[in-house]
Structure 1
Amino acid sequence: MPKNDQNPAPLDVSLTGVRGPKGAKKTPFEGDPRSLWRVSQFASPFSLPDAPTRKKVGFKGKKDDGEDALAERAEMLADLQELMWAHVVSAPEAEQREVAKAIAARVPRRSPQEKARREELFSPEVESALSGLARGPRVLLILQGMDAAGKGGVVKQVVSSMDPMGVEVAGFGKPTPEENGEHYLERVIRRLPRPGHVGVFDRSHYEDVLVPTITGSESTEELERRTEALKLFELELVRQGFVIIKVMLHVSPEEQLDRLISRLDREEKHWKYDPSDADSRAQFSLYQSIHAYLLEATDADHAPWHVIGADRKWYSRLAVQELLIAAFADLNLRWPAADYDVETERKRLLES
């Protein structure tokens, strides 16, 4: 499978304007978190078994060190989220235009060839919905993985450290009868985060390519068409100000079995188990094969795929948190300056 074309490198700036815990290191990982888990580092064609599931890539500490770092860096993540919201709400229009322009510059401008392919792969409704998106910075975290890979744990332990008023979580399961009557991207567009917000897809638009391929309801040709559509879709999102982080939580079959069995062993976890989990597990290798194809085919600098070993829950959560921090930092935002005299307002408050 050929490597996809390289796009302009993401903005690479130091973390500024954000307070973190006193004495905190810039990152608890050795190496740049933007590249530690990138699927592009593996040989082509990519094979998921080649990626580690238990190795602590870039992290030399133990579990206690990782959990301490997760708690310590949560404050910085929360501040970064607030900074993005403050930018959207209060930054001068000129500054907002510059940030939007910088994000859009991560991808090429739409070419006549791309326009023609979109006409073939998108519906008029999809194009209309995309054109109606408000422009502005927002982060979209896409989580994929087998059952019990830890997607929900990432949402609870990492995403929950941010202001819930600024987070929008969505999941995509089997389409409803109404959704089956429309283009598969329409339901995805309806759940995209607004400017200034963080969106989390706990399973995503990749399910609409993965599942039909696994079940055999779509042909190989349709797999290729839908894969191309996802690439064009993500290109357009970046042009609208989306910062996309795609994470494959890579769990071993042995660890997955232990976690699924534990759900049956504990009454309070029975609700998390579905008999279809056993069916999916029986096709573990096929799922890995299709996932590997999708990850390599849709990996790009503007929408990178990161394959994070998920056998250690604390490690995968720390890694995802650091990817979010790096993505926010790359926006290089500043706290909006007050449009009033601070000392005058202080005096007025004290005299009130």
Structure 2
Amino acid sequence: MAPQKSDTVELSGVPGPDTGLGLPFTGDPRQLWRVPTFLKDAPLCLGDVPTRRRRGFKGGKKSGQQALSQRAELLAELQELLWAHAIAAPADDRKAVLKSISSRVPRRSKQENARRKELFTPAVQKLLDGLEKGPRMLLVLQGMDASGKGGMVKSVVGAMDPLGVDVSGFGKPTEAEAKQHYLERIIKRLPTPGHVGVFDRSHYEDVLVPAVTGTHDEDELAERVEALQIFERELVRRGFVIVKVMLHISSGEQLDRLVSRLDREHKHWKYHPSDADARAEFGTYQTVYSTLLEATDEDYAPWHIIGADRKWYSRLAVQEVLIAALGDLQLHWPPADYDVESERKRLLST
């Protein structure tokens, strides 16, 4: 079936998702897995969100894997276009794209400035203010243990040029990091202009874990949520395209995957005894995630809840979300700042 006009992503200089291979999904990948899609006149409840449903995809595993392989080339080309833009695009083009991204959020108000000073340490404010401006992407991957975050990095992100990709994982803070504001270690590992940054777990752990363990009261957690909202607005103002993905796995599927790690010697390294402790709190994590995702879903920093029981499906879905987000930048290949034909003749004469 031919894609509808609303499904297309218009790109400049590269084949768009509406040409050649066609769109894998029957809905707009920008909205198909967004939080508002799962709200039913009530607060978000992850327990009601299917984990195996192939939302928007009519094919099976084989066709899904084929689509993943085919679309990987387009994703890689879009990433290269982002990198080329940051390095070689004319100054006016770079300013225009930066303005387009930063306009997704309002300018800082007096109230936000005041809250910024209250919620951020001077060190955090200095790091934020020192971030170079320019288009870049930040992919945030969250999910329970064994939800497929590592495989997502290998299968989807791995299709892009590794020189233009920065992958960071955030576990328990080190002793030194624990003495700092929790955002300091995050800011230090943000991608530079032209790069795609990937967070395997992220700044959301600093709200999620305290909420589950009960080490922070409701007021402290509310302040942390507000801090993350301000933090992400600051990033967008500096050219960040933020894509947040919750890999939503069922309790049964998670158990199978964790047990399989114990069944295979070469997977023992991926298991940690703390995995069982976290699994014992599966329901609590789902409740906290539900509240957190709804509170921090914004058009400029959207959350996509993608069923992760089928690995091939979740990978295809995330790939399509990235393609749409990069395509929406409307980038052009930078023009040569030299005479192409003259250089061709010079090369052929050597």
* Paired position in structure 2 for 1:289: 287
Aligned equivalents of 1:266, 1:320: Cα separation in 2: 28
The equivalent of 1:211 in structure 2 is: 209
| 1:103-252 matched pairs, under 5 angstroms | 103-252=101-250
Q: Report the TM-score, using the length of structure 2 for normalisation.
A: 0.95
The alpha carbon displacement at 1:330 in A equals 0.6
Q: For residue 16 of structure 1, report the CA deviation from its aligned partner.
A: 2.4
* Residue pair 1:144, 1:204 contacting (<8 A) in 2 also: yes
Residue 50 of structure 1, CA deviation = 1.5
**Coordinate RMSD, CA, aligned:** 1.4
Shift of 1:25: 3.2
Paired with 2:313 and 2:9, the residues of 1 have a C-alpha distance of 25
1:343 alignment counterpart: 341
Helix, strand or coil: the match of 2:247? strand
Is 1:91 aligned to residue 64 of structure 2? no
CA contact under 8 A between 2:64 and 2:312: conserved in structure 1?
yes
Task: Specify the alignment match of 1:314 in structure 2.
Answer: 312
Give the aligned partner of residue 7 of structure 1.
none
Q: Is the contact between residue 20 and residue 75 of structure 1 (CA under 8 Å) also seen in structure 2?
A: no
1:15 to 7, 11, 20: 11
Aligned to 1:5: none
Which piece of structure 1 moves more, 323-332 or 15-24? 15-24
Displacement of 1:22 in angstroms is 11
| Unmatched segments (≥5 aa) in structure 2 | 1-7
User: Which residue in 1 is equivalent to 2:78?
Assistant: 80
Alignment length (residue pairs)? 341
Q: Which residue of 1 aligns with 2:26?
A: 30
Partners of 1:32 and 1:115 in 2: CA distance: 35
| Separation (CA, whole Å) in 1 of partners of 2:22 and 2:220 | 44
Contact 2:148 2:311 in 1 (8 A): yes
Q: Which residue of 2 aligns with 1:326?
A: 324
Query: For residues 12-40 of structure 1, what are the alpha-carbon distances to aligned partners after superposition, in whole Å with 9 as ceiling and x for unaligned?
Result: 95122114799633421001000000011
Rounded Cα–Cα distance in structure 2 between residues aligned with 1:232 and 1:21? 33
Residue identity in the other structure for 1:41: T
Amino acid at match of 1:157: S
Q: Does the 8 A contact of 2:143 with 2:248 survive in 1?
A: yes
Aligned to 1:298: 296
Partner of 2:48: 50
1:137-180: CA deviation from partner (whole Å, max 9, x where unpaired): 00000000000000001000000000000111111111111111
Q: Is the 8 A contact 1:21 1:72 kept in 2?
A: no
CA distance in 1, matches of 2:312, 2:37: 23
Q: Deviations over 1:164-220 (max 9, x none)?
A: 001111111111111111111001000100000000000000001111111111111
* Alpha carbons 2:11, 2:331 under 8 Å: kept: no
